[in-house]
Amino acid sequence: MPASAEELRIAVENAGEVSAVLVQPDRTHALLILAHGAGAGMRHPFLHLLSRELAEVGVATLRYQFPYMEQRRKVPDRPPVLAATVRAAVAAGAKAAGDLILLAGGKSMGGRMTSLAASKEPLEKVRGLVFFGFPLHPPNRPGTERGEYLKLVGVPMLFLQGTCDQFAQLDLLRPVCEGLGKRATLQLFEGADHSFHVPKSSGRTDAQVMRELAETTAAWTKQL
């Protein structure tokens, strides 16, 4: 399915402008506002490939930079700036989406900051959140405090999680999702780590996992 890529600029209140890329296939049913993780920007191969796979299954994406990444700083912005960036990106996506189902989320920190913003105030026209590796806790420091605010999110949430993700022990993540009731869907990827890399012994390739991520997202979206 052919897809076009359009470079955009998004103004963030009190933080200047950030770059964004809108990838839109010829036929699409949804648009996902896609935020990057803490250590890599929107042009990281993972997000580039994910956007391409999502386009193949009819999901357009708008991925964008946070200000610190745009300015080539190593330390992430404070949560209020990150949340303001999420809202600015969602507003831009809402204009581009038209009648499409609008989703928001991201990889690791990007997904967490999107949900944190949504817990404070609903995101414009967003009907669901998608997390590609929700960072429930730092590696080797298990806890669930980072997930407590999710109870304040009022839209459905899709958790796409590797079973070997050091940022979310399953014995902790499962109860968090169960506590959210029907709003939460947890989809596990056997053997995958936080980057959704799988060992050769799994019998699958990273490319196959990437396709599964896209297909799972598209199928879930159609149920909203």
Task: Check pLDDT > 50 for residue 69.
Answer: yes
Stretch 81-87: mean pLDDT, rounded?
97
pLDDT for 4 equals 82
- Domains of the chain, residue spans: 3-221
Q: How confident is the model at residue 65 (pLDDT cuts 50, 70, 90)?
A: very high
Q: Where are the alpha helices (DSSP H) in 98-188?
A: 109-120, 170-179
- The helix/strand/coil state of 88 is helix
Task: Note the pLDDT of residue 90.
Answer: 97
CA dihedral sign, ordered 214, 24, 38, 125? negative
pLDDT over 90, % of the chain: 93
CB of 186 within 8 A of CB of 177? yes
Structure tokens at 29: 């049913």
pTM to 2 decimal places: 0.95
B/e letters for 146-156, b = 16+ CB within 10 Å, e = fewer, are: bbeebeebebb
CA pair distance 161, 186, nearest whole angstrom: 7
- The whole-angstrom separation of Cα 183 and Cα 173 is 14
Contact between 47 and 20 (Cβ < 8 Å) = no
What is the pLDDT averaged over residues 48-77?
96
Position 2 scores a pLDDT of 55
pLDDT, mean over the chain? 95
Q: Over 60: is that where the pLDDT of 29 sits?
A: yes
- What average pLDDT does range 36-56 have in this prediction? 95
Task: Taking residues 103-115, report their average pLDDT.
Answer: 97
Residue 1 has pLDDT above 50, yes or no: no
Mean pLDDT of all residues in 184-213: 95
> Is 168 within 8 Å of 162 (Cβ atoms)?
no
List the structure tokens of 44.
Answer: 């990281």
pLDDT at 14: 86
What would the two tokens of residue 55 be?
């386009």
Cα gap 94→46, rounded to integer Å:
24
| Class of the CATH-defined domain 3-221 | alpha beta
pLDDT above 80: residue 5: yes
In the predicted model, is pLDDT for residue 163 greater than 80? yes
Would strands 3-12 and 30-35 be described as parallel, antiparallel, or unpaired?
unpaired
Q: What are phi and psi of 41, to 5 degrees?
A: -85, -170
Write out the two tokens for 152.
Answer: 């304040």
Max Cα–Cα distance, the chain, nearest Å: 49
